[in-house]
Structure 1
Amino acid sequence: MHLVRRAVPPVLLSGLLLAGCSSAPQSGSDTPGKNGTPAAGPSGTAPTGAAEIPVGAGPQKTYTVQQQPAAGSCRYRYEKGEPLEDTTCTPGATSPAVTQANLARTICRKSGYTKGIRPPESVTGPEKRANAASYGYTGRLGDAEYDHLISLELGGDPNDARNLWVEPPDPGHKTGSGVNNLKDPVESKLHTAVCSGKVPLRAAQQAIVTDWTTALSKLGLA
């Protein structure tokens, strides 16, 4: 009995070979930015493959003091002297109450949104002191801001511990002169861009959690 050898069709052979191999990176994929996070695209949209930002509980009628990371477990980063958050301790968190579809009724309405959802000092005070210990901040607390990484005016969650950090004062800040930092103007410009339709909400949120010092330039707003 003679065995008949049949040739494998080239197309099938190619498929069998590829099935056991990982595909090569495609051209035009997102270029990683700092810390491996893909940089925002030129259109101002959130980059494909960008890490999902956690979603918090949203505004509450009654807030409770949230547990903070363990003392000394967080580390500041610096970009040209400006303080940045620890991305593990403070990855940011969005509010489920704010979406691209309801901007006019939430963050873009004329007044009252942030004031109506901001936690009271009786809650943020203890949180701020505990978070200062998390980051090892030993300066004057009155000069540091207990900051929403994604600001309330950009749809950040009001009291999720992942969205709050003790932001040290800017370099050259005079001790005792109170809170004054360069992140606040960035937040205001992003808010204006989102509410005017220049930048999608998601893109603004992603840019500020990636690196607030470069958020405006990455979105073409600098």
Structure 2
Amino acid sequence: MGSLCRAVPPVLLSCLLMAGCSSGSHSGAVTSGKGRAPSAGASRTAVSTGAAKIPVGAGPQTKYTVQQQPPAGSCHYRTEKGEPLEDPACTPGAISPAVTQANLASTICRKGGYTKNIRPPEAITRKEKEANAASYGYSGSLGDAEYDHLISLQLGGDPNDARNLWVEPADPGHESGGGINNKKDPVETKLHTAVCSGKVTLQAAQQAIVTDWTTALSRLGIG
């Protein structure tokens, strides 16, 4: 650089020789290392995306087979508002790929019924129910317990996915031997009506019932 470089103070000369060194607002920017400020996109990816995605089952089958259940004693009921609820680890729910928001009119909302033609036969579900009772450690009368689709068929639940079926005990105070009796069924019907009338989406109804069927209606603002 000759005499010009010798005239420049050593500190300034060193800065001029470094790539990317400049004056103004950039002089204090961190450009590398652990101190890098996260970009706007990076901060968004750290935000929770909400509830876990519900598994997708196989959908209606022309021939059903007995599905393997969780190991005996591995599932545990939980209780909300005095009502027995499923174990999310064993029974997270499963939806049918045959039912979507786009085809409601030709599936669960069609006149003439949808569910009766896709139910697994009793010869299949009886064996599954017995095995699932052992999974949950259920010791009551099987005649008083419903082998329940967590996401009901009328809400697009999978017909025979083990993740969507559980032995649901009768409501507290139910007289033994009195048959199946629970408060979940009316909730499912109200959700079905809300979905078919367009008040709530199919996905919202499915998510609400797997979260907690006892609060599903209030969660979605359904009377």
Greater C-alpha Rg: 2
Give the drift of 1:160: 0.1
Q: Does 1:4 align with 2:5?
A: no
What residue is the counterpart of 1:109 in the other structure? 110
Which residue of 2 is the match for residue 190 of structure 1? 191
State the alpha-carbon separation in 2 of the partners of residues 10 and 93 from structure 1: 54
Q: Tell me the CA shift for residue 19 of structure 1.
A: 4.0
2-structure distance, mates of 1:92, 1:140: 24
The reply on whether 1:87 has 2:106 as its aligned counterpart is no
Most deviating of 191-200 and 108-117: 108-117
In structure 2, relative to structure 1, the CA distance for the partners of 1:189 and 1:203 (3 Å cut) is same
Q: Could you list the runs of 5+ residues in structure 2 that have no partner in the other structure?
A: 1-5, 16-20
For structure 1, the 5+ residue unaligned runs are 31-47
What is the aligned partner in structure 1 of residue 130 from structure 2? 129
Rounded Cα–Cα distance in structure 2 between residues aligned with 1:195 and 1:182: 21
**Root-mean-square deviation over aligned CA pairs:** 2.2
Q: Note the C-alpha offset of 1:13.
A: 1.5
Structure with greater contact order relative to length (CA < 8 Å, sep ≥ 6)? 1
Q: Which residue of 1 aligns with 2:60?
A: 59
Map of 1:34 onto structure 2: none
Which residue identity does 1:209 align to in structure 2?
A: V
- C-alpha distance in 1 between matches for 2:110 and 2:88: 30
Per-residue CA distance 1:175-215 (angstroms, 9 max, x = gap): 11100100000000000000000000000000000000000
Identical positions, percent: 72
| TM-score, normalised by the number of residues in structure 1 | 0.85
What do the CA deviations read for 1:21-60 (whole angstroms, capped 9, x no partner)? Answer: x84999xx77xxxxxxxxxxxxxxxxx5221000000000
State the distance in 1 between where 2:50 and 2:56 align.
Answer: 17
TM-score (norm. length: structure 2): 0.84
